[in-house]
Structure formats: structure tokens, C-alpha cells
Amino acid sequence: MAFPYQWQRRTDRWKNSFRGIFGANKEPRPKMCPSCGTLVGINATRCHQCGTNITFSLAAVSRGLSGVFGGRAPVTTAVLIVNVLMLGASIVATINAGGGRGLSLLWGLNGEVLYRLGSTYPPAIFDGHQWWRLVTAMFLHGGLIHIGFNMMVLMDIGPVVEEVYGPGRYLFLYTVTGVAGYLLSSFVGYQSASGGHPSVGASGAILGLIGLMIAITTRRTGAHMQQLRSRLISWVVSIFVFGFLLSGVDNLAHLGGLAAGFALGKIFADREPRNGSERTTANVLGWSAAIVIIASFAVMLLHVKDQLPGS
């Protein structure tokens, strides 16, 4: 049975990427600067226009990774993959802990497992200074229904926002809005009499993307932008109404992500970087966010067997 056309293209991109990694022979051809897009010579190692190293630079690595993940939204695809992998790890750990029976996988993964894998928990964050939980919680979900809904919305909105801002700034904005949502939720919970509750999910960051889109529509004129803004606002209202009607929904994380996204949408130019300097800044922001995410998961692994609170 033949592969679908999109998967054939993606397979070809992966093959070409791996050939480059292992040094397979290719026909020499002119290169394009990954930073400013200028065409340079076959043997050039630096761009004569902006001075970027053609092979060893943040822009070159970013372009290579974009080729591996493919499509017009490589970061959104990578985020989806990490979320699915973490759900798989959560399910396996839940089953090993004696859970995962019946319909519990739909919306009832083991709370201890989610805590060990990095859910937010206000006392652990503010008393134990486990700030990495603000990041790792964005890639965890309570069950199949939870991740299914979030990833459906992410794949609908994410590629649009990523195309507007470019992959580097998109990853930075996604991470910052997600952290802002959990920071607000955890702070308010920590101040409450109960001390707060654990929370997981990508919805704070996804509301951040919606906030960015609302900000974009306020900076552009026209009937189409007004209609889009009205639909986005109606969508946000519906999300919060359902959040208040259903138990276990972290509305404060939603609010924090939405507010942060709207504020950042007013600050950042709503277009891809246009020149070498802007591309360098975007790559620095994107790789800073990636390093924070990787470091957060590394610290989570170091603490995965720590004693549970209150035990």
C-alpha cells in the first residue's frame, strides 16, 4: 500500500536530513544563509551579507530541525510529539502503580505519577523552589480526553500562530504564556487556605496562543479581523463557562495564559523576522525556551523518586 503524498514528502525530508548528519555525498550546489536568506557560494562557510556561520550557528541548527519535523509548523509538531510521549509515560507508570483499569485512562491518571513527572503543586513550587514544574506541567495531561481536546485545539491554532511569528519566537511565546498561566494559578492557590492543588495540561499555553491571536486582530483593521476577533472572544467565553461548570478545570491557568498572550501580542511584531538581526534574536529566544524545557525535564528526572509531600 502506497504512503500518502504528505508522508512521502516527510520521509524524503528525514532521509535528506540524516544524509547530511552522516556526511553522505551530495552534488555541490550554492547554499542559502539560514539567517538572512542570501545565496552564497558552494564552498562558503560564512555569509558575506550578515556574517552568519553557514554550518555551525543557531540559525543553521534551527533550519535543520525544521527539516526533520517538516511542514509549515515544525515546533507545533514537536510540541505535539512531546505531549504524546509524556502521556505514554504517564499511562505506563499508572499501570505499573496498579491503576489504569476501566475508563480511568480517559480522565483519571494516577495523581502520584503526575506529581512525580512534574505536575504543578503550589507548596512544592514556592516552599520547595521546584520552579521547573511550571514548565513540565505543560506537557502532562490527566487522560486521553484531556490530551485529545488540547491537542486538537493546538493543531488547529498552533500552525497559524507559528506561521505569523516564526518557529523561534513561537516556541518562546508558547513557553512563556504557559508558565505565566501556571504561575498565576499556583500563586493564588498557595495563598488560599487549602494551599492549592496539583494541575497539568497544555491549555494555559493554548489560551496564550488565543490571546496572541486576539492581540493581532486588534492591531489590524478590516471586517475579516473584526469577525475573527469576535469568534475568538466567543470561544474564550465558552471555555471559561465550561471551566466553571466542570470540576477540576484550572481556570486561573487559562486566565494567566490568555492575559500573557494578549500582552506579548501587543509587544511582539506580528510577522516573521525580516533580516539577519531579527532572525538571530528569534533564534536566541527559541533556543532559550528549548533549553529551559530540556533543563526542566532533566531536573524532573533527578527528583522523580523524591519523597511525596506529607508522607
Beta bridge partners of 39: 32
CA Rg value for the chain: 21
CATH number for the region 74-303 comes to 1.20.1540.10
DSSP, collapsed to helix, strand or coil, labels residue 39 as strand
Mean pLDDT, the chain, integer: 84
Q: For the chain, how many residues are written? A: 311
Active-site annotation holder among 194, 254, 296, 303? 254
Active-site annotation holder among 203, 230, 277, 311? 203
Residues in the chain with pLDDT values less than 50? 1-3, 17-26, 56-62, 65, 68-69
In the structure grid, which three cell numbers stand for residue 92, read together?
505506563
The pLDDT assigned to 122 comes to 97
CB 96 within 8 A of CB 110: no
The pLDDT assigned to 36 comes to 57
How buried is 68 (Cβ within 10 angstroms: 0-12 exposed, 13-18 middle, 19+ buried)? middle
CB 196 within 8 A of CB 204: no
DSSP, collapsed to helix, strand or coil, labels residue 197 as coil
In the residue annotation, 254 being an active-site residue is answered as: yes
The pLDDT assigned to 284 comes to 95
Which residues, 6 or more positions from 222, have their beta carbon under 8 angstroms from its beta carbon? Answer: none
Q: Label each residue of 108-173 as H, E or C.
A: CCCHHHHHHHCCECHHHHHCCCCCCHHHHHHHCCCCHHHHHHHHHHHHHHHHHHHHHHCHHHHHHH
CB 243 within 8 A of CB 254: yes
The pLDDT assigned to 294 comes to 98
The pLDDT assigned to 257 comes to 98
CB 207 within 8 A of CB 232: no
Beta bridge partners of 134: none
The pLDDT assigned to 240 comes to 92
The pLDDT assigned to 143 comes to 93
The pLDDT assigned to 102 comes to 76
